[in-house]
Amino acid sequence: MTGLKLHADINNCYASIFRIFMPELNGEPLAVLSNNDGSIIARSQEAKDLGIIMGQPLFEAKPIIDRYGVKVLSSNYPLFHDMSTRFHHTLGTFSPSQEIYSIDEGFLDLSNFYKTDLKEYGCTIKKTVWKWLGLPICVGIAPTKTLAKLANRIAKKSTKAKGVLVLNTEAHIKAALNIVDVGDVWGIGRQYATKLRKFGVLSAWDLANVTDSFAKKELTIVGLRIVKELRGEACADLEIEPPAKKGICTSRSFGHPVTTLDLMQEAVATYMTRSAYKLRRQKSFCAQLSVFFETNPFNPNEPQYNNCKTIKLPVPTNSTLELVSYALLALKAIFRNGYKYKKAGVYLDDIRPATAMQGNIFDSIDRGKHLDLMRAMDVLTSKMGSGVVKLASEGTEKSWKMKQDYGTKCFTTRMEDILVVR
């Protein structure tokens, strides 16, 4: 069967990354926290077995954590990003066509692998990622992306599959579809699953056998594509080049309430710097930006205030200098003293390709200099990490940064944090 797709993802991604550098955590229950240590966003299998729930607030899980000695760690995004990059680079060595789907999963096109033992090839990929990176993964191979995801899901739970499952015959595909709940099909959310069960569609096999008209009516055109993919008809090609984002948002909750304009300016400048970098990475310009903030709505006894200011730019740009300047103007227009601000963010929209940028006859900015400066800053950022070069308006102390009471070293992205062999 030609046109096969391979799906690979990291098991318990964040927990597995920490265990590479902290092997004492192997076999121990581990929970990883969200921004500001608010809730649980990743768990080791041992933590799942204890009943810790995905998305559960930390304070709710405290009784189980304390009773069983569950190790708790704050998110370490520089480390996660670096290990994700290494994972996708390793995966990409096994096929000329690759789609990076998310931080911990991706697809490969195996269309021209005619004489390859697919099971053995999947096992080789699994062993290589483990040998090179120390990351445990599972692999699913099937005629479509949806079936490959489904194969991977089964491979995680099947002792017989040992982490690699190939679905390339009608009999194997039918057997797999019959054991997967309709709610576990990629793209079928909780609401659609509830609706389908009312029609007697309980399994992935049932879903694959609904009529096209039913799928289109009850699940829209997107649902029809899912149904066709379950039947083995490829409707989604690999996204080799991910599409440019139409909107870019950077927003964070503060570790401590912000009450002064100076600190709010630091936060907004920092968020805009990150957004501008993302904008340049996708070779785009934006013609409009917004700045927003809010107090804590869960503290009703305190004065409440939230606001948003949007500015239409005279000339589309991706220069950090320009974007930060306009963002601070927007902030000053709506900031009010006397409030404890919990969160702020920036949003870039009206995004267009750099090749479609139209100038302004009254523009007085030397855009050539801005372009050269941004290019130099981006090179340093890509080589040495974010924050190595920054605007003075971003500040240095950043007392407003998100809370990380259970922080760890960066291990791979900061020289002083690299492990030392004793």
pTM: 0.83
Cβ neighbours for 403, distance < 8 A, ≥ 6 positions apart: 36, 37, 255, 256
Give the pLDDT band (50/70/90) at residue 100: very high
Q: What is the largest CA-CA distance in the chain?
A: 71
Give the pLDDT band (50/70/90) at residue 356: low
**Burial of residue 32, with CB atoms counted within 10 A of its CB: 0-12 exposed, 13-18 middle, 19 or more buried:** buried
Cα 11 from Cα 136, distance rounded (Å): 6
pLDDT at residue 359 in the model? 67
Say which residue the tokens 């963002």 belong to: 327
Cα 171 from Cα 164, distance rounded (Å): 17
pLDDT digits (tens, 9 = 90+) for 387-418: 778 888 888 877 778 778 888 888 887 788 88
Q: For the chain, which domains are there?
A: 248-394 (3.30.1490.100)
pLDDT at residue 1 in the model? 44
Mean pLDDT of all residues in 198-211? 95
Average pLDDT, the chain: 91
C-alpha 256 chain-centroid distance: 25
Assigned token pair, 105: 């999963």
Give the pLDDT band (50/70/90) at residue 242: confident
Q: Quote the percentage of the chain above a pLDDT of 90.
A: 74
Whether the pLDDT of residue 283 is over 50: the answer is yes
CB atoms within 10 A of CB 368: 8
